[in-house]
Amino acid sequence: MRYLLGMGHSEITMIAGQTAGNDRQAARVHAFRDTMAAAGLAKTAHVIEKPYVQALTEGAEAMRRIDAEYPGTTAVVCNNDVFAVSVIAECRKRGIRVPADLSVTGFDDLDLASVLDPQLTTVAVPSRDMGVRAAEALLNAVLHRRKIVPVRLETSLVVRASTAAPFRARRGLGKSRSSHS
């Protein structure tokens, strides 16, 4: 978020997984809203929750909703790389240029993030370490009746080609398409 805000983005929409029963998603949405509020941008912080079950189709549907309901959006923050891939594909169908018209970020740094066109700016997570710690916690809970406690692991931003400073002259996604045709 700080990266996008630092580039001048002021209307940002987050596509999140469902937060009910998912503390990680809830924490990401909370952090997004807090960061936007601290920047004085609470009114331009939009969140769309989608299930991960069909992330490719759900991400595209969320992008259609962003285009219709939040046309001033200059950046879309996706809570996983699959949503981001779907958003970029939907943008291509709609004539929205990434990153010239809209910046898109992901989360996970899946292998596909570096081969996508444009390559995806994303947050890299220590997946292997997460799996090892989860397995250890489960074993300790079952075998030794130890309580499972959350652990915070370090992440890092991987900046690639899907983000840029916002295109200042445009007046919403739908109008930008016709001005570029």
Asked whether the predicted pLDDT for residue 180 surpasses 50, the reply is no
Q: Is 48 exposed, middle or buried (0-12, 13-18, 19+ CB in 10 A)?
A: buried
Q: How far apart are CA 119 and CA 58, in angstroms?
A: 21
- Taking only the tens place, the pLDDT of each residue in 58-111 is 999 999 999 999 999 999 999 999 999 999 999 999 999 999 999 999 999 999
pLDDT the model gives residue 169: 38
Asked if CATH classification 3.40.50.300 holds for the domain at 2-125+154-168, the reply, yes or no, is no
Q: Are strands 12-17 and 45-50 parallel, antiparallel or unpaired?
A: parallel
* Lookup: tokens for 161: 């080609």
pLDDT the model gives residue 168: 61
Beta strands in the chain (DSSP E): 12-17, 45-50, 75-78, 103-108, 121-124, 156-158
- Taking only the tens place, the pLDDT of each residue in 142-179 is 999 999 888 888 999 999 999 999 986 344 454 444 34
- Taking only the tens place, the pLDDT of each residue in 112-148 is 999 999 999 999 998 888 788 889 989 989 999 999 8
Q: How far apart are CA 99 and CA 82, in angstroms?
A: 17
Q: How many CB atoms lie within 10 A of CB 148?
A: 11
pLDDT the model gives residue 170: 42
16: nearest Cα among 82, 95, 103, 111 = 82
